[in-house]
Amino acid sequence: MKVEPIINMKDIKSIKKLLVDRPRDRLLFVLGINSGLRVQDLLALKISDVRTCSIGDRVSIKEKKTGKENVFIMNKEIKTALDEYLRCAKRQDDHYLFKSRKGQNYPLTTYAVTMMVQRWCDEINLKINAGAHTLRKTWCYQQRQMGSSWELLAKRLNHSTPSITRRYLGVQEEEVEEILMKSI
């Protein structure tokens, strides 16, 4: 099943509000829609990777899927969610940032995140095919809406070919026809 991005900012705000009393889940959502990283890479983060970060700091990761180095920047939204989570989480530096409630020190699974994202969408009555990858696709969609070029998005997403990025962006036939109607 192909998952979809959250395209309406109102729905994004509704999910953030829904998660206000669930700091771990809110941080996961905020980090996912603000970093453009795959969930499996977010789940590999440890408390020590982010505890001392300030706004503007770069956090380096190694992508599991590609083995490539990548980064995200600690923006204001991520930092606010992180601080709230760390205030109540009382986690040690060697703990996973998104620690499962089951077992000792295991991260959430991608499957668990898929179920969480679908549940959040259901709770705000958003009818989309949602899953863990919805967070990355939401970042991509929203960046495109803000005018970021697909070339820049392709670089950020570490895609190997332009066709992957175009498919990922979900460029619709209507959009192509719309630009063909513009006179030069």
Q: How far is CA 39 from CA 2, 33, 112, in A?
A: 16, 10, 11
Can you list the domains of the chain with their CATH numbers?
9-180 (1.10.443.10)
- Say if residue 162's pLDDT is above 70: yes
Between CA 19 and CA 5 the distance in angstroms is 18
Length of the chain: 184
pLDDT of residue 170: 65
Please check whether residue 77 is in contact with residue 34, taking contact to mean a CB–CB distance below 8 angstroms: yes
Each residue's pLDDT tens digit, 55-101: 999 999 999 988 888 999 999 999 999 999 999 987 789 999 999 88
Q: What average pLDDT does the structure give for the chain?
A: 91
Among the residue ranges 105-109, 147-151, 169-173, the one predicted with the least confidence is 169-173
Give the distance from CA 127 to its chain's centroid: 19
